[in-house]
Chains A and B, each alone.
Chain A
């Protein structure tokens, strides 16, 4: 159906915070409510949140179990593979959680409706960020509990280090998710594949399962330019040598600040371009 029916209030509505300097928690809440309705309306999607992280954790867990029982060094490297899998999932699922909530709007051709409403782009992004954490929690928490049951690996045993790891990884995932959303807004659903695959570009370079020193020397500066590299190095330092490297986390935070600002800038520019070229209403399934 081609019909579109929109409304545009000419009078500001004080109740929804229009015209004020900051964002509106009510509008962010409204978007979160929408994504929550969408999430709970589809049990296959809920199952999907848990399914792949579980399969991945079990596969890598048994691989580590096998290697540990056959090699002296790896016997001491207890938990690095499972830890890497779980932390990688924070990065990957965080970005995917952000992107899928965004894609829901594209699939249902709702972007035009949202852009007509008082919702601001930054409020939209804030809602997507919160929902990525909600989706990630639904998928990751059961898997971390399974890791304790299957392999005796307690991710929560990392304590405050886990908070630093999580915060840095989720920041990177948001930065990627925000930029990819801008690409989809500007280029339509042809760019949807980026949402599913872009984070995998980071997998070899961020040294998820091996130290940075494993990479060729010329490639190592590239790895160190990516915030997740610091997290995975930090995790290995913690698990292998029981040392928490706060310096690595601060470096990652600084890089994340740059990456996040770049992602946000890119999104706003691409949104502006989409508005000028009229592509906002030309996207859909």
Chain B
């Protein structure tokens, strides 16, 4: 956390063998609005700024797969929306796969083409958002989630 944003990105860029590292850092700083933060210690940034730095680190090697674990947890609604928009655009423009773990079903509904619902470490259901809504007869994934969590959803055979 004592490393500056630029140092963090440099280390991870070198770990991933990014060839044009200096340009890549500048590019990500522009895209993620980090230019003014580049030389500040990461530990002194706000939660939203740290999330943008984490995104920059994760994107530094132009990955084909992004793994996101609660990417907008503890963020204010404005920053969370900004992060979701960026992820949406990145996934669409670069045609990459995003594997997202989240309890925020609004976020899941917005970002995901396929949803796997887990309960106590086991997969309870797996389908597109539209088909899940239709199967459970609900209007939102939040309601579907609650059905699954409280055991009041469709029976397991129907879910398959």
**Is A201 positioned at the interface, with any CB of B under 8 Å from its CB?**
no
> What residue in chain B is nearest A107 (Cβ atoms)?
B1
Which residues of A sit under 8 angstroms from B7, Cβ to Cβ?
34, 37
* Chain B proximity mask over A1-33: 1 for CB below 8 Å, otherwise 0: 111111111110111111000001011011101
Are A7 and B65 interface neighbours, CB within 8 A?
Answer: yes
Q: How far is the CA of A3 from the CA of B16 in the complex (A)?
A: 22
Are B70 and A4 interface neighbours, CB within 8 A?
Answer: yes
| Minimum distance in angstroms from A188 CB to a CB of chain B | 19
Are B73 and A117 interface neighbours, CB within 8 A?
Answer: no
- In this complex, how many residues of chain B approach chain A with their Cβ under 8 Å: the count is 38
**Is B124 positioned at the interface, with any CB of A under 8 Å from its CB?**
no
Bin chain A's interface residue count. 35 or more
Chain A contact surface mostly: mixed
| Minimum distance in angstroms from B159 CB to a CB of chain A | 27
Are A17 and B17 interface neighbours, CB within 8 A?
Answer: yes
Are B73 and A27 interface neighbours, CB within 8 A?
Answer: no
* Chain A proximity mask over B15-50: 1 for CB below 8 Å, otherwise 0: 111110000000000000000000001000001001
**Is B67 positioned at the interface, with any CB of A under 8 Å from its CB?**
yes
> What residue in chain A is nearest B43 (Cβ atoms)?
A108
Which residues of B sit under 8 angstroms from A113, Cβ to Cβ?
12, 57
**Is A119 positioned at the interface, with any CB of B under 8 Å from its CB?**
yes
Which residues of A sit under 8 angstroms from B14, Cβ to Cβ?
26-27, 29-30, 33
Are A11 and B64 interface neighbours, CB within 8 A?
Answer: yes
Which residues of A sit under 8 angstroms from B1, Cβ to Cβ?
108
Of residues 83 to 119 in B, which have CB atoms within 8 Å of A's CB atoms? none
Which residues of B sit under 8 angstroms from A42, Cβ to Cβ?
2
Are A3 and B73 interface neighbours, CB within 8 A?
Answer: yes
| Minimum distance in angstroms from B21 CB to a CB of chain A | 10
Q: Identify B12's interface contact among A2, A3, A17, A117, CB under 8 A.
A: A117
CB contact under 8 A between A5 and B69, given known A29-B14, A38-B3: yes
Given contacts A2-B74, A37-B2, 11 further A-B contacts (CB under 8 A): A1-B47, A1-B73, A3-B75, A5-B57, A6-B69, A7-B60, A7-B67, A9-B64, A10-B64, A14-B17, A41-B2
Task: Give the interface of B toward A (CB within 8 A).
Answer: 1-4, 7, 10-12, 14-19, 41, 47, 50-51, 54-55, 57-61, 63-75
Give me 21 A-to-B residue pairs in the complex whose CB atoms sit less than 8 angstroms apart, sorted by A's number.
Answer: A1-B50, A2-B70, A2-B74, A3-B51, A3-B69, A3-B70, A6-B58, A6-B67, A6-B68, A7-B60, A8-B65, A14-B17, A16-B15, A24-B17, A29-B14, A30-B14, A31-B11, A34-B3, A34-B11, A38-B3, A113-B12
